[in-house]
Amino acid sequence: MNVASIIPDDRLERLSNAEITRYSRHLLLPQVGVDGQRRLKAAKVLVVGTGGLGAPLALYLAAAGVGTLGLVDFDFVEASNLQRQIIHGTRDIDRPKVASAADRVKSINPDIRVVTYNTALKSDNALSIIEDYDVVADGTDNYPTRYLVNDACVLLGKPNVYGSIFQFEGQASVFYAKEGPCYRCLYPSPPPPGLVPSCAEGGVLGVLPGIVGTIQASEVIKLVVGAGGAGGAVAGDSLIGRLLLFDAWAMKFRELKLRRDEGCPVCGKAPSIRELVDYEQFCGLKPAPGEEPVESITAKELKARLDAGDPLQVIDIREPHEQAIAPFPGARYIPLGQMARRAGEIDAAVDAVFLCKVGQRSKFAIRALREAGHRGRLLNLQDGVGAWARDVDSTLPQY
C-alpha cells in the first residue's frame, strides 16, 4: 500500500550544508530527495525496547537522520544480550539499556535528539509517552507490551511498525488503523501462558533480529518519507495489510495478506476498547479471580531443605538440550511436553519443586498438573536455574 508521508509540511526545515553532505546518498534517490530527508529530520520516532530488534532499529534510524528518537526500556545490559543486541558492548554490562543505546546512537549521529525513558511501558504511561511521536517501532519480546503498544497506537492514530522473532523465524508488518488492520486483527487473543517460550527460554539466532529490525527501520523510513522526493515520486509499498515471514534457517521469505477485522474490539466498526486495560491480566499472566496462586520457593530455601534432608521431589521440566547446558543436581527430568502423560510419576505425598530456566514454564507445568487433578504440594523454584547458579552454586553456568 502506498501511503503519503505522515509528517506535515509545516514542520519541515531546511538542510544545512553539513546535513546535505551526511545524507547525500539519500538525496540522490528520487524516492527520498531533499524533501524526504527534510521529513526524516522533522520526524519523531519511538523505539519500544532496545534489545535485539531495537538495536538495529535505533542504529539505522539514527544514521538515516530521524530528528527525534525516543528509546523506551527498563532493563540492564547482560552478557547474554551481546550475542545479538549490537547496540551494546561488553563495557556496557550492568548499565541501563537506554543509557548504553543513547550513547551509541549519539556516536553515530550527534545531530539528532535522543529522548530516553528508563521505565517499563505500562497502561498508565503509554499514552502520554506515545502521543508525542509520529511513528512507534515495536521491538518488544512479550505479548502484554505488544497488545499495549497496538491499542495505544490505535487510540492515538499512530502507525505501529511491528516485528517479532523466535529461534530462526521472524515476522514484520505495519499496523496502522487509519489505513489497514491492527495487531488484534491478526491475533485477537494471546496464546495461553507458557505455550510460547520467550527468546530467553527458547533461544534465537543472533543475526535474526538484525534482519527483522532493519526491515522495521526500512518501513519507518518509508512512512516518514511517503510521497516525498524529487518530482513527487511515491514511496514503495508499505507492509500495511501484509505480514512478512522470514525463516533464517531455510533462508526463505513468505507473505500473507491481512485484512481489517470489522469486529475487532479496538479498530473495528463498533470498538469496545476505548482505553488501555490491564495487559498482564489480558494475557493470563496474573492469576484469574479465585485461582489458587502458585507457591514459590527461593534457591536458598531449596538448598536449606535439601541440606536438611527434607523429602523432596525436584522436577526439571526443561528440554534435553537445555539440561545439557546446566544440569541441575539430583533432579528428575520430565520435559514440559511430557508432563501430562508422566504426571503419575510425581508422588502426591511428597513436596515437589519444579524448575526451568527462569521460573515461568515451571509455573505453567504446576497449573497443568492442578487442572489434571494432582493434589500434592507443588512449589515453583523462583527465577529458575539462573537463581540457583547465582545464589547457591556459582560453578553452574548461567545462560
pLDDT band at 192 (very low <50, low <70, confident <90, very high): confident
Catalytic residue chosen out of the listed positions 182, 185, 199, 283? 199
Residue ranges matching CATH 3.40.50.720 in the chain: 9-282
- Angstrom distance (rounded) from CA 179 to CA 257: 14
267 an active-site residue?
Answer: no
- Angstrom distance (rounded) from CA 384 to CA 365: 13
What whole-number percentage of the chain has pLDDT above 90?
83
Reported as a single tens digit per residue, the pLDDT across 363-391 is 989 988 988 889 999 999 999 999 999 99
What is the structure's pLDDT at 2? 72
Considering only CA atoms, which of 399, 368, 367, 369 is closest in space to residue 384? 399
CA-to-CA separations, 105 to 25, 36, 151, in angstroms, rounded: 20, 21, 28
Q: List, in order, residues 6 or more apart from 72 with CB less than 8 Å away.
A: 46, 47, 48, 49, 50, 98, 117, 119, 121, 129
Considering only CA atoms, which of 267, 285, 125 is closest in space to residue 183? 267
CB neighbours of residue 128 within 10 Å: 9
pLDDT higher than threshold 90 for residue 82: yes
- The pLDDT mean for the chain works out to 93
pLDDT higher than threshold 60 for residue 308: yes
Reported as a single tens digit per residue, the pLDDT across 15-37 is 999 999 999 999 999 999 999 99
pLDDT band at 236 (very low <50, low <70, confident <90, very high): low
Question: Which CATH number, 3.40.50.2000, 3.90.1150.10, 3.40.250.10, 3.40.50.300, labels domain 295-391?
Answer: 3.40.250.10
Question: Which CATH number, 2.140.10.30, 3.40.50.720, 3.40.50.10420, 3.40.630.30, labels domain 9-282?
Answer: 3.40.50.720
What is the structure's pLDDT at 313? 96
Q: Are 55 and 87 in contact (CB under 8 A)?
A: yes
- Angstrom distance (rounded) from CA 343 to CA 325: 25
CB neighbours of residue 293 within 10 Å: 8
What is the structure's pLDDT at 201? 80
What is the structure's pLDDT at 337? 84
Q: What are phi and psi of 60, to 5 degrees?
A: -75, -30
What is the structure's pLDDT at 230? 35
Interhelix angle 33-42/208-225, rounded to 10 degrees, is 110
What is the structure's pLDDT at 287? 66
Q: How do 169-175 and 68-72 pair as beta strands?
A: unpaired
pLDDT band at 165 (very low <50, low <70, confident <90, very high): very high
Classify residue 243 by its DSSP letter: E
- Angstrom distance (rounded) from CA 102 to CA 230: 33
pLDDT higher than threshold 70 for residue 229: no
Reported as a single tens digit per residue, the pLDDT across 85-107 is 999 999 999 999 999 999 999 99
What is the structure's pLDDT at 223? 96
Catalytic residue chosen out of the listed positions 153, 185, 267, 356? 356
185 an active-site residue?
Answer: no
The span from the first CA to the last CA of the chain, in angstroms, equals: 42
Sign of the dihedral through C-alpha 313, 317, 319, 324? negative
pTM of the predicted structure, to 2 decimals: 0.86
What is the structure's pLDDT at 199? 80
pLDDT higher than threshold 80 for residue 3: no
pLDDT band at 288 (very low <50, low <70, confident <90, very high): low
Residue ranges matching CATH 3.40.250.10 in the chain: 295-391
pLDDT band at 318 (very low <50, low <70, confident <90, very high): very high
Q: Which of 149-158, 224-233, 349-358 shows the lowest per-residue confidence on average (mean pLDDT)?
A: 224-233
